[in-house]
Amino acid sequence: MDLLKAATEVRENAYAPYSRFKVGAALRSSSGALHVGCNVENVAYPEGTCAEAGAIAAMCATGDRRIAEILVIADSPDPVPPCGGCRQKIAEFADPDVVVTLCTTDGKQRQMTVADLLPGVFTAAHMART
């Protein structure tokens, strides 16, 4: 299954009773496995958890640790980028040149790299003392 189809399908499972803004994400790990996630809201945290974080959690649950490519889809006039927290999570598990594809449900797409998505990323190297 391709990433667009997988993200489109999982988006329908999103739990978004407050925002009504459903988001789906699909990623392929470096092992070739496909992992999906959708946003989940709740009354205490109406902005909820993000689709990208869900896909990354699903990847980690299987033991995979590296993202080879990722796609996000939402019903929006323009492709929606991941939130700041998800950008950091993506950067944690993907190399800077990994392609991130942002899509709308009506067919618009925008591609960028992880480095473009999050310039100046915080890494473990920032905590190292030499």
Q: Which alpha helices (DSSP H) does the chain contain, by range?
A: 3-11, 51-61, 84-93, 114-117
**pTM, full prediction:** 0.92
Question: Could you give the CA distance from residue 28 to residue 44 in angstroms, rounded to a whole number?
Answer: 31
pLDDT for residue 130: 64
Residue whose entry in the numeric block shows the structure tokens 């499972």 = 13
Digit-coded pLDDT (tens) for 19-68: 999 999 999 999 999 999 999 998 777 667 899 999 999 999 999 999 99
Residue 71 is predicted with a pLDDT of 98
Q: Please give the residue that has the higher pLDDT: either 45 or 17.
A: 17
Q: Could you say which DSSP state residue 120 is in?
A: T
CA distance 111 to 125: 27
Q: Which of 9, 12, 52, 92 is catalytic?
A: 52
The residue type of 74 is A
Q: Is position 69 annotated as part of the catalytic site?
A: no
Residue range 62-111, pLDDT digits in tens:
999 999 999 999 999 999 999 988 999 999 999 999 999 999 999 999 99
**Domains in the chain: ranges and CATH:** 3-127 (3.40.140.10)
